[in-house]
Every structure is written in C-alpha cells, then in structure tokens.
Structure 1
Amino acid sequence: MDCTHGVFARHLFEESQPRISEARTHGYMGNSELEKAMKEFTQRCANISRIYSIGKSVKGIPMWVLEISDKPGQEEGEPAFKFIGNVHGDEPVGRELLIFLANWLCDNYGKDPLATLIVNNVHLHVLPTMNPDGFALRRRGNANNVDLNRDFPDQFYPMNDIVSLRQPETKAIMNWIKEQHFTASASLHGGALVANYPWDGSQDTRKQYAACPDDKAFRHMASLYSRSHYNMSLSKEFEGGITNGAFWYPVYGGMQDWNYIHGGCFELTLEISDDKWPKANELPVIWEYNRMSMLNLVANLVKTGVHGKIFSSDKGRPLPASVMIKGIDYRVNASRTYGDYHRMLAPGESYEVAASMPGFQSKSTHILLEDEAMNLDFILSPEEGSSKHEEVRKECECTGDGRDRVEVVEFLRGINLGIYLLLSAIFLLLCCLLRRKTMFKSLNHRNGHKRPIVVQGFDGNA
C-alpha cells in the first residue's frame, strides 16, 4: 500500500505503470469504430434497442449509451440496470465485453430463456466507455489527467463538492443517474479478478471492512457474479472472489458509493481481467469467462428481491412512496409514473417491509424472502385531515399531461380484482371493461413469480 495525498492507492493503479504500446492496442476498437459498432447494432437490432448520448468528454467525444429492452425508450414499471465500461482509460476490456454482451442478447432474444427474460423484463443501459479520451491517450485519467473514479462527491470527506471543478464525464454520469431510475449497476475495470462492493472508503482512511446498510444484499450480488464466473470464485487472494472495497484498499470520490447513496442504485465494481490491457485475441475468452456472470447479474433484478407497486386507495393513483426495510437504514423510492419499486435484498431472510409517504398512512408487513423474487403491493390510505395527499393528486395531474387516467388503468390490470370490492363503483366498472384485454405486463406476471401480496389501506399493519 502507498499513501498519496492522504488517500490509499494500490500499486497496480498508479500512473507509473509502463505505457501501453501501439502494438498492444491492435484489435481493439478505437472510439470512432466503437461508435460505428453501436450504431450498426441499433440498426440490426432495431426492435430491441436504441442509442442515445448522455454528454461529451473533455475532447468532445459523445458518451454513447445503448438501451436494450423490448420497449426501448419507453417508461415501464420495470427495473433498470446499467453497465459502465472503460472508467479508466487504460482498462479497455469492459468496452469490448459490453459490445459482446449486446450482440449476444440480440442474437439470442426469443431463443434463449435468459436473453428473453432480460430483454422483456429489464431496461438495460450499456455505456461501453466513460473515458474515451483516456482510452485514446492510453492512460488511466481523462484528457485532464483526472482519475474519474475519484471525481465523485464523497460521504466521508468534502471532496469534489464544487460542481464547476468536476470533469464533464463525471457530470454526465451524475445527471444520467438522476434522470434514470436505475435499480442496480456495475462498472467494469481491469488489473485484478474480483467483485468489489461498498463501502469503498472508511471514516479514518484505514484499510478495514466498512459495511454499508445493505451489506448482505451486496455480498449476495457480488457472490452471484463470482460464482457464475469461470474462475473468479477460486481466487487465492480474495475469499470467494469478492471483497469489501475499504477492506481491499480505501477509495474516496468513487462512483460506486455515490450511486448507492445518491442514486438509489446498487452498484458493484467488477475487476474482470488480471491484465489491464490484454492482447485483443484474448478478448473472446475473457468474454466467455464473464458472460454468465454479466447475464445473471442483470437477471438478478427480476429473479430475486422484493418488487411491487404503491398507489392511493382513494383514486388508485400510483404513488412515488418510499420503501423501507426494518433494521436497514436505506430507502428505495417508487417511480412517479407507475408507482413501481424494486428492492434488492439477500434471499433466505425474513424482512419487515414498510411503505410510507407524507399525507398517507404508512403500511408494513413481514415477509420471508426465499430464493425467488416476491411481489408486494401497497395500497396507502390518505391521512384524515391531511392536505398532503391532495397535493400529490394535483401534482400527478399536472405532471401526467393527461396520461394519469390511462396509467392508472394500465396499473390496475396487474392487480387482483378482488381487493377493489372496497373501492368505488367507477373502478369496478373500469376493471370489468378491461378484463378481456391484454393484461398489463408487470412484475407479478414475470416467469417464476408468485401472485402478489397486497398490503391494503386499512389501519394497522398487515
């Protein structure tokens, strides 16, 4: 371990590493070739993809993202996952593997159950390169020689709090995370073989295990990746092929912790190749070693955890309420459009799940989360004498552009009609009219899911 400016750094990440030779870059896509490959992909796989940019690098290179879904560009009541590659310019394996991943999903959609599950039930966003300038320069930092994985605001130290001093690539990622409702994500790195999870730093900068509130869930996600990998779990350096970030080496200003704290997003940092810049002819093998890990990590969003929708008992409107787990100091917010939430949890545990929102009575219930995902919907009743729920109603009407009634109808399709016997006749009529129509595709109709548990808007806990 070395200590530079009070922050620990591991020797394999230092700028003193030998410069990458021109010969070593042969076989890797340059930035223009990568852009061309992404655009060609969206033409070949137009039915399940789109391309968009989240910003530009210091040198003005667009940061292109592929979205892969059966309804790309449309908002749905589904979880979203993002992969980010090439955070460090001299770690290019991720950018190549993400193109392999996209093409595999396209080629196998409708044929392979896992590919079909992912495309139909997840909005997957793929950013092959966060640092195109660093890649072109064949160095770790960006064009300003800044390590982008030290450029995010940090919980332990007042780092990077001046917005004007952040790098454009960092700003683009932060804005992207705030705009999208990501459930989980992973960034791909090189130089080791291990799945890293929060916290990345500790209060006193010492190398020590620093557990975040969702330590069990993160350990489950990291272990899932490691066990699915060809040989990551066999590591002699890291037990089970996983590590807590601060226990390995503390990082401050990292993207992983910022995602979890400010984005409501469970992010892993994946070291996928011992060699930072292996020869290009080794890439297909590295892809095969990581393929099932990458696929299983995305599919984990719908195969495990607790998922559901939250809405108001008086008008049936979706509510952007918060979901809390007793004993875990962390909240996940439901979406404003559909009221859907997606909460990563370690299986094999009992949990008390609560939904709350100002102006409404909080509701909670106990669940036993086994190996499969659980669907848990909440119906919240307005508090008597509170004007908060009326403010929510008006806000929904103002932001819905006239779509709120349609969204409510779509939302109601996936819910057991029996629970609405207590609601008004208008909703009974709407449900009857829609009985013969195609059911709204939601979490409680996904492969392997059980019928949803509904916590209704009565006083007391279910």
Structure 2
Amino acid sequence: MRTSSRRTAVAVAAACLTLAAHAGVTAAAAPAGGTGDTRAIYAVPGTDVQERTAINRTGALVLSVSGGEAVVEATPEQAERMRAAGLAPQRRASVAAELARRGQGAPGDFPPEDRGYHNYDEVVAELGAAVADHPDIATLTSAGTSHEGRDIPVLKISDNAGQDEAEPEVLFDCNQHAREHLTTEMCLRIVERFTDGYATDPAIAEMVDSRELWVIPVVNPDGSIHDVASGQYLGWRKNRQGPGTDLNRNWGHKWGCCGGSSGNPNAETYRGTEPWSAPETAALRDFIDSRVVGGEQQIEAAIDFHTYSELVLWPFGYTTDQVTEGMTQEQYDRFERVGTEMARTNGYTPQQASGLYITDGGSLDWMWAEHGILAFTFEMYPAQGGGLEGFYPPDEVIAEETARNDEAVDVLIREAGV
C-alpha cells in the first residue's frame, strides 16, 4: 500500500525532474532501434495517476496500465530516476531484443510476416483507388506537408463530395505516433466501409448522405516511413524534425502547462519549441480551422486513433478535474455518455484522458477547447502488452480489430447530428 509520505516523495521528485528537463540536463536517449539503443521495458507495480505522470516526467514513457501495474519504456538512467522518485521499476527485456523478434523485410517495408500493413505509398494508392472507384462520394486532398515534404492526405466522403454542404462533419485521424501502424489500418477500414458499402448498405448510405466525413490515415508520414525504413521495426514515435517532436504534445491548448510533456528534445514526449512548431500539427490545425464556415465550426465530432490499451478517452488530459474552465458538468456528462456508449460496442474502457496520466498539448484538448468538437481518443488493441510489441500486433488481427470499432464509429457519426 502506498503511504502519504511516499506520495509526497514522488511529487517532490517529479517536480525536481521537471525542472531538470527544462534546464536541458536530462541524459540524451540513444537512437531508436540502433546498436546503441539502451532502452528497456520495465514493469512498475501499484501505480496511480500521479505516479504514472511522475514516470513520464523522468523522460520514460508509460506504454500500458493494468491493475495499477505500468509497463514502461525507459533508459537505465530514467529507471534510476524512477527509483529516486520512490518507484520500483522491474526490468523485463531490452527494447532491441523485442524489436528483433520480427523478421527482416525489404528496406522501406514491413517485416515479411506483417505485410498486411500498408506503407505510406500503399496508403496513398488505396485512397486514390477509393476516389477512382467512387468519384461521386469521395475526393482526395492534402492537409499540408510533413517536415520532409510529404503530403498528409485527406479523404472526404459524402453524397456530394465535391460540394461543401450544410451537413454535420466528422473527422477521423490516425498515426500521429509513427509506430502506431494499426491506426492507419483503422482509417483505411473507415474509407473502405463508407465507400464500398455505400451502394449496398442502407445504414451506411444514410450516414454518407447526411454527413461529411473526413479521414486522415497518416498524420505523421515521415515518422511512419522511418519506423520501417530498415525493413525492421525501430520503435519510432515522433516526427522527423531534428530529434523528433511528439505530435500529440505540440497542439496549442495548454501547451507545456502541466508537466504532461517534456522540454527535453530527446524525450519521447518532447513538445517542440513552441505550439505548432511541428509542420504536421500546424497542417492539421489549419485544416480544422478551415472548416469554420460562416463563423461556425462544421466538424462536430472526431476520433483520434492511437495504440495501445483499448481505451475510449475524452477531455481534458491536462487536468483530472471534470468540471473546469471550458468544461461544464453538462458538457462533461455528454462526453461520458457518448464515450461509454461507444465503449459498450467495442469492449474498451471509457475514461477521462487524464485518468491514464497527465498530458498537455494534445489534439483532444485543443479540438474541444478551441472549436467545441466532441473529440475522443481511441487507444486500440491490445489491451495490454509486454512492451514495444504492443505497438506491432500481427497483421492477422487487422481485420478483426478494425472492424471491432465499426459500431463505435457509427455512434459518433450519428451523435454529430444531435
């Protein structure tokens, strides 16, 4: 059992670690997946929200939580900081060993046993084919370009896709974090279902006829490509701007406010030099801002897909308060109601985002605070994992684990019209 003195020690140590990170004295992390990669997977038993937040503030990263046990990715130095904060990390395996369990594929592609996943070029080809096959209900544009100059493709699905109609809009985006490739497959599932199913499924036709759907399968194309550039997984999370920015800590609302991101460029949760310093987040901001028509935001609801932990999350991530600035009780109750309804359909656990650990500068909080979008984050399969392998489920699960969210997607689309 945790004592109050231990909680105090954790809080004090975490504050010191945060100051150290701001001062730039945190040890540099080794290159992801390289021969000098010193990262390992640790289990930290009996944690609560405060302690998991403290873990992240050491520069380590909580990957999943089950029964209070946190599975953590950390360097030996970060593990020592956890111990200094009163935690008890137990080493399980090296990250390099976990990544090496998969076979070696061709450069720039997935390992051979995971060829069911789509690389960036294949995603673009799939989107182009959807438009070619369904030109009346699908159009393809770009939200902007990545740090390395790649398009961030956006597919629109609606009964008159070439026109801007006065219909509720819903946004689905995937792959903010490079190694979360299952999310890209989730967005492709949505594209396939709402285009190929339009002519044969009356329920899908009704949603397409009465809504405008936007799908962004690869928010982080450079990072996604880099993660499989060698033909073997690298465990890469961030974009490719210098040492990399965590895109989901770079959004403008409460950026860097609350110890839910890092100022150390080597940290996995590095928030960037300022809000929107990553071109990928700036591109999505500009796209979402562009949907303000006649002074009103047309996007009414959104899901940002991530892996892993099987969670349905809603704002806010920067505070554990339910009712606070920008969130009334009535608004919170709606988030909880819709989130719980979606979770009933897919078996995920519904909770406020900060229930996992504190984050700041996330897309979820910005979409709601800036635009009043009913925005959720889904953490997909698996519910828990041994570590990095949780980000790389075998391609045999793609069909089942993406179809698992069909009903939840439908719930949100219909809620957008309420």
Q: TM-score range by the shorter chain?
A: 0.5 to 0.7
Match of 1:140 in 2: 237
Match of 1:10 in 2: 62
Pairwise CA distance, 1:210: 3.5
Rounded to whole Å, the distance in 2 between the matches of 1:6 and 1:281 is 36
Evaluate the alpha carbon distance shift between residue 151 and residue 127 of structure 1 in structure 2; reply closer, same or farther with a 3 A threshold: same
Q: Is the 8 A contact 2:245 2:272 kept in 1?
A: no
Is the aligned partner of 1:217 residue 2:328?
Answer: no
User: Normalising to structure 2: TM-score of the pair?
Assistant: 0.64
Match of 1:390 in 2: none
Q: Is the 8 A contact 2:59 2:74 kept in 1?
A: no
Secondary structure (helix, strand or coil) at the match of 2:398 reads: helix
Rounded to whole Å, the distance in 2 between the matches of 1:8 and 1:199 is 22
Pairwise CA distance, 1:110: 3.9
* Structure 2 letter corresponding to 1:118: M
Match of 1:182 in 2: 299
Q: Is the 8 A contact 2:249 2:255 kept in 1?
A: no
Match of 1:67 in 2: 156
- Residues 388-407 of structure 1: pairs in structure 2 closer than 5 A: none
Secondary structure (helix, strand or coil) at the match of 1:152 reads: coil
Q: Is the 8 A contact 2:272 2:278 kept in 1?
A: no
Match of 2:252 in 1: 153
Match of 1:253 in 2: 361
Match of 1:278 in 2: 393
* Structure 2 letter corresponding to 1:210: Q
Pairwise CA distance, 1:276: 2.1
Secondary structure (helix, strand or coil) at the match of 1:93 reads: helix
Secondary structure (helix, strand or coil) at the match of 1:98 reads: helix
Secondary structure (helix, strand or coil) at the match of 1:299 reads: helix
Pairwise CA distance, 1:98: 1.5
Evaluate the alpha carbon distance shift between residue 156 and residue 188 of structure 1 in structure 2; reply closer, same or farther with a 3 A threshold: closer
Q: Which of 314, 335, 352 is equivalent to 1:197?
A: 314
Rounded to whole Å, the distance in 2 between the matches of 1:162 and 1:260 is 23
Is the aligned partner of 1:290 residue 2:405?
Answer: yes
Rounded to whole Å, the distance in 2 between the matches of 1:257 and 1:164 is 13
Rounded to whole Å, the distance in 2 between the matches of 1:263 and 1:162 is 24
Pairwise CA distance, 1:246: 1.3
Match of 1:337 in 2: none
Rounded to whole Å, the distance in 2 between the matches of 1:135 and 1:3 is 26
Secondary structure (helix, strand or coil) at the match of 1:37 reads: helix
Evaluate the alpha carbon distance shift between residue 45 and residue 14 of structure 1 in structure 2; reply closer, same or farther with a 3 A threshold: farther
Rounded to whole Å, the distance in 1 between the matches of 2:413 and 2:60 is 31
Is the aligned partner of 1:299 residue 2:398?
Answer: no
Pairwise CA distance, 1:37: 0.8
- Residues 26-425 of structure 1: pairs in structure 2 closer than 5 A: 26-138=115-227, 139-144=236-241, 145-155=244-254, 157=256, 166-180=277-291, 181-202=298-319, 208-211=320-323, 212-213=327-328, 214-229=331-346, 231-232=347-348, 241-274=349-382, 275-302=390-417, 305=418
Q: Is the 8 A contact 1:186 1:268 kept in 2?
A: yes
* Structure 1 letter corresponding to 2:186: L
Rounded to whole Å, the distance in 1 between the matches of 2:396 and 2:286 is 36
Rounded to whole Å, the distance in 2 between the matches of 1:123 and 1:262 is 20
Q: Is the 8 A contact 2:305 2:379 kept in 1?
A: yes
Structure with max Cα Rg: 1
Pairwise CA distance, 1:300: 2.2
Match of 1:369 in 2: none
Pairwise CA distance, 1:71: 1.1
> Pairwise CA RMSD of aligned residues?
2.4
| 1:190-214 per-position Cα deviation (integer Å, ceiling 9, x unaligned) | 1110100011112xxxxx3434321
* Structure 1 letter corresponding to 2:279: P
User: Normalising to structure 1: TM-score of the pair?
Assistant: 0.58
Pairwise CA distance, 1:6: 7.7
Rounded to whole Å, the distance in 2 between the matches of 1:57 and 1:19 is 26
| 1:278-323 per-position Cα deviation (integer Å, ceiling 9, x unaligned) | 1112101112211221222212222xx3xxxxxxxxxxxxxxxxxx
Q: Structure 2: which 5+ residue stretches go unaligned?
A: 1-51, 65-71, 76-94, 105-110, 228-235, 262-270, 292-297, 383-389
Pairwise CA distance, 1:15: 6.8
Secondary structure (helix, strand or coil) at the match of 1:46 reads: coil
Pairwise CA distance, 1:72: 0.9
Rounded to whole Å, the distance in 1 between the matches of 2:255 and 2:59 is 12
